[in-house]
Amino acid sequence: MSHGWRRTLTDNWALPTIDLARCTGCGACVTYCPTRAVEMSHGRPRIVRIADCTYCGECEQACPEGAIGLGYKIVLPAPKKRGRRSPRKLT
């Protein structure tokens, strides 16, 4: 999967963080990672392919213990509400 950009090792601020104290090693984050950036190592998940992490949030959603989280959330503004216009009268 190519996104037209590649992350470097200095861009770790954007990677999901894993709380190993909460992690049970179930592997759900590995199963749901669409780019296979997360792998199990010694019974714990690790982000092994940093450049492949697209920050999609699938790992965070999959974790039943809430042990993996994204450093920030991308929030888009709500669309502006448009008022109702009265229909034009044709004469």
CA angle 30, 32, 34 (to 5 degrees): 100
pLDDT surpassing 70 at residue 34? yes
Summarize the confidence of residues 38-45 as an average pLDDT: 92
User: Which tens digits make up the pLDDT trace of 47-62?
Assistant: 888 888 888 889 999 9
pLDDT above 90 for 31: yes
Other beta carbons within 10 angstroms of residue 84's beta carbon come to 5
Does some domain include residue 74?
no
**Distance between first and last Cα of the chain:** 57
Asked, for residue 29, whether it belongs to a domain, the answer is yes
Q: How confident is the model at residue 3 (pLDDT cuts 50, 70, 90)?
A: very low
Question: Is the pLDDT reported for residue 86 higher than 50?
Answer: yes
CB 54, CB 3: distance < 8 Å: yes
Quick one: average pLDDT of 3-10?
45
Residue 4, pLDDT above cutoff 70: no
Domain assignment of residue 42, yes or no: yes
Confidence bin at 10 (pLDDT 50/70/90): very low
The domain in which residue 30 lies consists of: 9-69
Q: Please count the structural domains in the chain.
A: 1
E runs forming strands in the chain: 17-18, 38-41, 44-47, 68-69
In a domain, 84, yes or no: no
Q: Rounded to an integer, what distance in angstroms lies between the CA atom of residue 70 and that of residue 59?
A: 9
* CATH number of the domain to which 52 belongs: 3.30.70.20
The answer to whether residue 22 sits within a structural domain is yes
For residue 60, being part of any structural domain is answered with yes
